[in-house]
Amino acid sequence: MIDSSDPDFWPDLFATVWQATGETLYQVGVTLLLTAILGTIIGVLLVVTDKGGMLEAPFGSRAFGRTVNVVLQLVVNLGRSIPFLILMIALIPFTRLVLGTAFGVTAAIVPLTVAAVPFFARIVEMSLREVSDGLLEAGMSLGATRWHLVAKVLLPEALPGLILGFTTTAVSVVNYSAIVGTIGGGGLGDVAVRYGYQRYSTEYIVVVIVVLVAIVACLQGLGGWMSMRMRRGGTPSARSAAAVPPAQAD
């Protein structure tokens, strides 16, 4: 138990929480960056290598496309079905192999990313499947390459859904980052364990909760706003044009 009437109590609390918040944001930020890249790549591959997809037979080999698809599906399903707490522990040797250490703020990025990528990849896959085949066909009729179809049609058209899905992923990552804290991953979870649990300080717990809620709220708000902006038209000029009564008939 810490003495909350100590004059150093609040300054200490804020210094501790401030530093931990920085660690959490760093952890979450790097994880999300890696997740965005890897999850998008895997999500796209899941869609295009599926039956009837534009890459169902890469290098002319249908079997190869099938294999890639099946393996990725398996990896994503596996990653999503293992509870994070267990995944995190199971990955300790792997993390040590990659980074030389399994504990600490940076090391925690490995299990976080491994957990978040399958989650986001599945969301990417679902969002891309929402894009109408007609749009791909229109692209093909214009002579688009597969790369054009992915970069100019599939991803931009799915973007509003992707952003919302990414927001959900981000919130989960914040959640997981607190769990990582319990086994020495630093950040706000670590503060909650060391001060809140081991030394039972209600003030620490409350402040940590407030900060976490604030982070999640910011993420949600930002994601929702961006997605809405995408759906309604991105540029200011387009939005003012939207204010004009739309679409008089021909």
**CB–CB of 186/108 below 8 Å?**
yes
By C-beta, is 213 or 241 nearer to another protein?
241
Residue of the chain from 30, 57, 126, 140 that contacts another protein (CB under 8 A):
140
At its nearest, how many Å lie between another protein and the CB of residue 44?
A: 16
Contact between 249 and another protein per CB under 8 A: yes
Residue of the chain from 33, 70, 138, 209 that contacts another protein (CB under 8 A):
138
| DSSP conformation class of 185 | -
Residue of the chain from 1, 3, 81, 250 that contacts another protein (CB under 8 A):
250
Contact between 137 and another protein per CB under 8 A: yes
Residues 156-185 within binding reach of another protein (CB under 8 A): 156-157, 159
What is the spatial distance between Cα 102 and Cα 106, in angstroms, rounded to a whole number?
Answer: 9
At its nearest, how many Å lie between another protein and the CB of residue 49?
A: 19
175, 180, 186, 192 alpha-carbon torsion, rounded to 10° = 60
Residues 5-44 within binding reach of another protein (CB under 8 A): none
Residues 219-248 as x/- pattern, contact with another protein by CB under 8 A? -----------xxxx---xx--xx---xxx
What is the spatial distance between Cα 225 and Cα 163, in angstroms, rounded to a whole number?
Answer: 10
What is the spatial distance between Cα 31 and Cα 124, in angstroms, rounded to a whole number?
Answer: 17
**CB–CB of 130/158 below 8 Å?**
yes
Contact between 57 and another protein per CB under 8 A: no
Residues 6+ apart with CB under 8 A from 179: 84, 85, 88, 189
What is the spatial distance between Cα 194 and Cα 172, in angstroms, rounded to a whole number?
Answer: 22
Contact between 135 and another protein per CB under 8 A: yes
Binding site for another protein (CB under 8 A): 132, 134-135, 137-145, 148, 152-153, 156-157, 159, 230-233, 237-238, 241-242, 246-250
